[in-house]
Amino acid sequence: MTAERPEQPVPDYVPGHDLLAGKVVVVTAAAGAGIGAAVVRRVLEEGAKAVVFSDTHARRLAEAEEALAAEFGAERVRQLVCDVTDDAQVTALLDAAEEFGGVDIMINNAGLGGTASVLEMTDEQWSRVLDITLTGTFRCVRAAGQRMSQAGKKGVIVNNASVIGWRAQEGQAHYAAAKAGVMALTRCSAIDLAPHGIRVNAVSPSLAMHPFLAKVTSDELLHELKQREAFGRAAEPWEVANVMVFLASDYASYMTGEVVAVSSQQA
């Protein structure tokens, strides 16, 4: 029997170093306490001129904006309800960034999961996960790429994929297919946008802990998932956000079309 893997302590939070100084950043699915919310905070800490962030939950968005404005200044934050299945709402989100000078960095975090065997999965379940997670990311990549190229900006797009796009997991056929699609979309759109000086990369997290995950996942399953990780713990959302910020920064200036695993998961 394999020995219990000890849970390693969470490292100290890394302070900002102005990696995104002066940039206008747009982030989807950023209300609450998950990766998107961690990215918004991280880009502000890294000196972004402004961040426009979205979600489908108006109340949580307003609460997040109020808290961030109090900490970082109201002139640097703007929230807007956006459903990435609606192209008009995606357009409105990019329009909001024009108020600050236009999008420099687009971080596509919106996605929807669920658990169902392919034997019982309905067309509606399949289509909804694909429309939000894959097609929604496509809509945002297209919209941001158009804005950046028209403005002559050498912008950056960062997508959120998942290790499930590489590795099989029971009941995750729709989500795995969507995230594998995000990886392929990242690689191909990077080639399309390279002549415009626009970089496109993705992160592929394994297990990132946040309150919603804890709410919908049993303690037994969480323990099992943590035991698959080399450090015996889930990533903190800010640890994933750090890699997304790196990809958005000039430190990754020669990287495009790459999918970077943010994972300690064993093969």
Listed in sequence order, the residues at least 6 apart from 81 whose beta carbon sits closer than 8 Å to its beta carbon are: 54, 55, 56, 57, 58, 61, 89
Instruction: Let me know: does 28 contact 109? Beta carbons within 8 Å.
Output: yes
Query: Does the annotation mark 254 as catalytic?
Result: no
- In the set 13, 175, 251, 254, the catalytic residue is 175
Map tokens 């929604």 to a residue: 136
Strands ordered across the beta sheet of 24-27 = 77-81, 50-55, 24-27, 105-108, 156-160, 199-205, 259-262
DSSP 37-73: HHHHHHHHHTT-SEEEEEES-HHHHHHHHHHHHHHH-
Q: What is the DSSP letter of 20?
A: T
Quote the CA–CA distance of 167 and 176 in Å, as a whole number: 8
Look up residue 225 and give its amino acid: L
Q: Which residues have a catalytic role annotated? A: 175
